[in-house]
């Protein structure tokens, strides 16, 4: 899949191919349908919310809505196909 990746705090976003994640126990993986990009995202891009190089690279964005595609161990698979939301 494609993602806009932060490789360096304060640097440009880089469009690149990224691997789709796998859910860990207790987690789900979802397909993002919409994602807000606002002040919190800007602060993340600049490193204002933590500039530890171990946090890089990452794909920014929060206030998202999506659909559950995969469930990790211990998560009810009836959630697959359900709408979900998350925020920073």
pLDDT in tens, 70-88: 999 999 999 999 999 987 6
Residue extents of the structural domains in the chain: 2-86
Dist. CA 47–CA 28, nearest whole Å: 27
pLDDT in tens, 11-66: 999 999 999 889 999 999 999 999 888 888 889 899 998 889 998 999 888 889 99
| Residue count of the chain | 88
**59: which 2 tokens?**
């794909």
pTM for the model: 0.75
**1: which 2 tokens?**
């899949």
Name the CATH architecture for the domain at 2-86.
Alpha-Beta Complex (3.90)
**69: which 2 tokens?**
């595609």
């Amino acid at each position: 899949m494609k993602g806009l990746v932060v490789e360096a705090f304060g640097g440009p976003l880089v469009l690149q191919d990224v691997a789709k994640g796998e859910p860990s126990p207790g987690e789900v993986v979802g397909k993002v349908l919409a994602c807000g990009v606002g002040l919190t995202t800007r602060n993340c891009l600049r490193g204002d919310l933590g500039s530890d190089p171990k946090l890089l690279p990452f794909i920014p964005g929060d206030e998202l809505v999506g659909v559950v595609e995969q469930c990790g161990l211990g998560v009810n698979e009836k959630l697959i196909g359900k709408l979900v939301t998350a925020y920073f």
